[in-house]
């Protein structure tokens, strides 16, 4: 090529949740049975889709309107339905004009960061769901700017660090929260959210809240939505169908814009995001038509409650199986459906290994584990080779911490018990090796 093809941010794009699948498939081809613990897809893990949901979707397939384009911002009646729900929270008041439907929150995330000035930065949590950190680093052409979630304090954010980074870095224009959080399972306390809003107000920032798991809480926790606490600070709420219905294959999510009238620059950003979607015409119509029918169905809440109870029970199994292991930090979870299991600083070493029976798998893992591989990724490769369990290293979630993320989605109790007991014995063997 006569010159560079790529944006400087191209190297920031990492999505280990799927990248690890390539490695797992190599082991699979060698005869290792893989247990997929890498991705937050409840449907893949067997969460039952009730017949009444299927009937709604099947009924819409009989409606010709579901085959057409819809308005760029999304189906109007659906936006009216959602605006009423948000307004009923009693905080920010929005109209159907303050929405933009996207093809999943993943699409929404890339739209939001893509057109920001490269020098305007969004500070986000570490660890973080890597679609955010990659999109942010990608737009800036530099590594993401982060605030730490503290594993020794229930994974709550280090507020002093957040405040100081905002204060001393005038490039920061926004704060990202993921609430409930992926990958930690933490739910932001209301007082912390209010403090974040106060920082945003003081430094004239906007807030992005990824609330895709907002109704997936348990153990007595409730996720307070950004709309409830934002006051007159500009903000964006990100919500979707993938996790709560669950319907990840719908590729349906949306943005809610709060206080666009309070800051002209923020209003220009919102207009630009809408213009970007207009170039694509609109997002998928059928799931948008389904959304009000699904969420207002008389059986929806019971369905959601029952899945949340199951997640809570699995969260307990993970905690009880792993929390007393020497060398590890394990927190209880309160929302979403993941737990981040950490190695204490210094316990992972580059010589550690697991016994791998399959000779081909042993040879492969030894070559993968060589060289400049983060120590938690090395552990994850050994776990794959020796047990077939496919988890994701925490260092891939924009973090300097070392550990791995598990999902709380396994439907079969026997399989779940086996998974976590096997992980426990793998940790013990690896650390003692």
Ligand X SMILES: Cc1ncc(COP(=O)(O)O)c(C=O)c1O
| Binding footprint of ligand X on the chain (CB under 6 A) | 40, 104-106, 129, 131, 178, 182, 210, 212, 240, 242, 248, 253
User: Pick from 156, 150, 218, 241: which is nearest to 193 by CA?
Assistant: 156
For ligand X, the closer of residues 129 and 218 by Cβ is: 129
Distance CA 377, CA 15 (A): 13
Task: Give the shortest CB-75-to-ligand X separation in angstroms.
Answer: 17
Distance CA 346, CA 340 (A): 18
User: Pick from 331, 322, 327, 369: which is nearest to 350 by CA?
Assistant: 369
Closest residue to ligand X: CB criterion:
104
For ligand X, the closer of residues 131 and 148 by Cβ is: 131
Task: Give the shortest CB-172-to-ligand X separation in angstroms.
Answer: 21
For ligand X, the closer of residues 121 and 239 by Cβ is: 239
Show Cβ contacts of residue 222 under 8 Å, excluding neighbours closer than 6 positions: 187
Task: Give the shortest CB-109-to-ligand X separation in angstroms.
Answer: 6
For ligand X, the closer of residues 73 and 362 by Cβ is: 73
User: Across the chain, how many H-helices and E-strands are there?
Assistant: 14, 14
Task: Give the shortest CB-302-to-ligand X separation in angstroms.
Answer: 24
User: Pick from 246, 223, 226: which is nearest to 234 by CA?
Assistant: 226
Task: Give the shortest CB-179-to-ligand X separation in angstroms.
Answer: 9
Task: Answer yes or no: are the C-beta atoms of 171 and 121 closer than 8 Å.
Answer: yes
φ, ψ of residue 100 in degrees (nearest 5): -145, 115
Question: Concatenated DSSP letters for 76-135?
Answer: HHHHHHHHHHHHTTTSS---GGGEEEESHHHHHHHHHHHTS-TT-EEEEEES--HHHHHH
For ligand X, the closer of residues 104 and 174 by Cβ is: 104
For ligand X, the closer of residues 216 and 229 by Cβ is: 216
Distance CA 356, CA 339 (A): 26
Task: Give the shortest CB-40-to-ligand X separation in angstroms.
Answer: 4
For ligand X, the closer of residues 131 and 387 by Cβ is: 131
Task: Give the shortest CB-352-to-ligand X separation in angstroms.
Answer: 30
Cross-strand pairs, 208: 176, 236
Distance CA 264, CA 254 (A): 22
- Per the document, the length of the chain is 433
Question: Concatenated DSSP letters for 58-75?
Answer: HHHHT-GGGGS---TT--
SS3 label, residue 338: strand
For ligand X, the closer of residues 335 and 388 by Cβ is: 335
Distance CA 159, CA 149 (A): 9
Distance CA 307, CA 326 (A): 32
Task: Answer yes or no: are the C-beta atoms of 289 and 79 closer than 8 Å.
Answer: no
Q: If 0-12 CB within 10 Å is exposed, 13-18 middle and 19+ buried, where does residue 38 land? A: buried
For ligand X, the closer of residues 129 and 382 by Cβ is: 129
Task: Give the shortest CB-311-to-ligand X separation in angstroms.
Answer: 14
Task: Give the shortest CB-215-to-ligand X separation in angstroms.
Answer: 14
Task: Give the shortest CB-344-to-ligand X separation in angstroms.
Answer: 26
For ligand X, the closer of residues 129 and 334 by Cβ is: 129
Whether the ω angle into residue 325 lies within 30 degrees of 0, i.e. cis, is no
């Amino acid at each position: 090529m006569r010159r560079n093809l790529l944006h400087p941010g191209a190297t920031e794009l990492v999505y280990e949740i799927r990248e690890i699948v390539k490695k797992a498939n190599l082991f699979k081809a060698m005869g290792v049975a893989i247990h997929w613990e890498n991705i937050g897809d409840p449907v893949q893990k067997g969460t039952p889709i009730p017949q009444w949901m299927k009937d709604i979707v099947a009924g819409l397939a009989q409606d010709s309107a579901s085959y057409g384009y819809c308005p760029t911002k999304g189906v109007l009646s659906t936006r009216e339905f959602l605006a009423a729900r948000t307004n009923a929270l009693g905080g920010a008041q929005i109209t159907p004009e303050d929405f933009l439907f996207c093809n999943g929150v993943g699409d929404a995330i890339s739209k939001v960061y893509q057109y920001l000035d490269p020098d305007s930065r969004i500070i986000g949590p570490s660890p973080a769901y890597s679609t955010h950190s990659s999109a942010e680093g990608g737009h800036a052409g530099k590594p993401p700017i982060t605030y730490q979630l503290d594993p020794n304090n229930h994974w709550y954010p280090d507020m002093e660090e957040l405040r100081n980074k905002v204060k001393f870095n005038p490039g920061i224009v926004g704060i990202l929260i993921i609430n409930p959080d992926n990958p930690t399972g933490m739910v932001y306390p209301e007082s912390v959210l209010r403090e974040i809003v106060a920082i945003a107000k003081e430094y004239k920032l906007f807030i992005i809240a990824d609330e895709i798991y907002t109704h997936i809480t348990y153990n007595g926790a409730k996720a307070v939505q950004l709309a409830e606490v934002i006051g007159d600070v500009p903000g964006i709420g990100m919500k979707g169908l993938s996790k709560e219905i669950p319907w990840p294959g719908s590729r349906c999510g949306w943005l809610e814009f709060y206080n666009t009238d309070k800051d002209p620059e923020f209003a220009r950003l919102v207009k630009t995001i809408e213009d970007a979607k207009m170039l694509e015409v609109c997002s998928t119509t059928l799931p948008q038509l389904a959304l009000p029918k699904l969420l207002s169905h008389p059986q929806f809440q019971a369905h959601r409650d029952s899945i949340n109870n199951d997640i809570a029970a699995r969260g307990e199994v993970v905690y009880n199986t792993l929390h007393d292991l020497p060398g590890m930090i394990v927190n209880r979870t309160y929302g979403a459906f993941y737990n981040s299991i950490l190695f204490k600083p210094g316990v992972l070493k580059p010589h550690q290994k697991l016994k791998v029976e399959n000779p081909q798998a042993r040879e492969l893992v030894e070559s993968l584990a060589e060289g400049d591989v983060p120590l938690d990724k090395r552990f994850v490769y050994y776990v794959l080779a020796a047990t077939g369990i496919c988890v994701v290293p925490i260092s891939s979630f924009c973090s300097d911490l070392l550990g791995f993320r598990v999902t709380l989605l396994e439907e079969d109790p026997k399989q779940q018990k086996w998974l976590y007991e096997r992980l426990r014995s793998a940790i013990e063997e690896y650390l003692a090796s």
